[in-house]
Amino acid sequence: MQMSDTFFVNWTTQLRKGLLELAILNTLGSGPLYGYDIVRRLGDVDSLVINEGTVYPILSRLRNEKYVESYIEESSSGPPRKYYRLTPRGREELRRMNEHWASLHGALAQLRKERAR
């Protein structure tokens, strides 16, 4: 692996770590989901989740910090499932995070535009 490849890999790893929480909260923004379903939905976003297991400790932490809450629901096709949903606090935090992300994204787009001139 070349030096520039290592740099890129490290950078994307750091970026992914920071974005995963935002992505998990956003998947729950549309309604309650169980863990496996969250993982599947995140899997649709290209190279966001390399190790699917990383999602579960984040869910546990978000629940400990009261951004999400969990409940058990019976399933028609198997054992009962553990669902997660946003709490009012989590919804507010998600709004702030999305705003911050949009502002960052906008600022970066502006920088790229200036460079292109």
Does 1 contact other proteins by CB under 8 A?
Answer: no
92 binds other proteins (CB under 8 A): no
The answer to whether residue 16 forms part of the interface with other proteins (CB under 8 A) is: no
Is 60 a residue that touches other proteins (CB under 8 A)? yes
Q: How far apart are CA 23 and CA 29, in angstroms?
A: 10
| Dist. CA 13–CA 50, nearest whole Å | 9
Q: Which residues contact 94 (CB under 8 A, 6 or more apart)?
A: 22, 25, 26, 29, 67, 86
Give the nearest distance from C-beta 65 to other proteins in angstroms. 8
| Alpha-carbon gap, residue 94 to 97, rounded angstroms | 5
- Binding segment (CB under 8 A) for other proteins, from list 2-10, 73-81, 89-97, 100-108: 73-81
CB-CB neighbours of 27 under 10 Å: 20
- The stretch among 23-31, 48-56, 89-97, 98-106 that binds other proteins (CB under 8 A) is 48-56
Enumerate binding residues for other proteins (CB under 8 A).
Answer: 17, 34-36, 39, 50-54, 56-57, 59-61, 63-65, 70, 77-79, 81-82
